[in-house]
């Protein structure tokens, strides 16, 4: 499994596992990221932003995940 570390340019990575997301989105937890990914998968607009090659592995498209978080932020006060 690829781990995103300080030595890897995160701009080059297109996908990350749920465990790796907190290293990209500082100040978040794995549990929080898992909840957001579950919400994203339930949203028809963003369902295509994840790939689950196995039952235990979910890869998240980082750019689409960021779009989803921005959408959540915009809808928070509607």
* Residue 6 lies inside a defined structural domain of this protein: no
Q: Which segments of 1-78 does DSSP mark as H helices, in order?
A: 21-24, 30-42, 62-75
pLDDT of residue 2 exceeding 90, the answer is: no
Residues 6+ away with beta carbon under 8 Å from 3: 20
Per the listing, tokens 């998240």 go with 60
Q: Cα 13 to the chain's mean position, in Å?
A: 12
* Residue 9 lies inside a defined structural domain of this protein: no
Domain count, the chain: 1
Whole domain around residue 46: which residue ranges? 15-75
DSSP state of 17: E
* Residue 22 lies inside a defined structural domain of this protein: yes
Calculate the average pLDDT of the chain.
86
* Residue 68 lies inside a defined structural domain of this protein: yes
For 40-68, the pLDDT digits (tens) are: 999 999 999 999 999 999 999 999 999 99
Per-residue confidence (pLDDT) for residue 52, from 0 to 100: 92
> What pTM does this model have?
0.80
């Amino acid at each position: 499994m690829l781990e995103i570390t300080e030595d890897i340019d995160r701009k080059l990575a297109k996908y990350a596992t749920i465990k790796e997301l907190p290293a990209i989105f500082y100040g978040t937890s794995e549990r929080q990221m898992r909840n957001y990914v579950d919400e994203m998968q339930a949203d028809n607009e963003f369902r295509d932003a994840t790939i689950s090659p196995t039952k235990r592995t979910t890869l998240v498209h980082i750019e689409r995940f960021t779009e989803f978080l921005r959408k959540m932020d915009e809808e928070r006060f509607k």
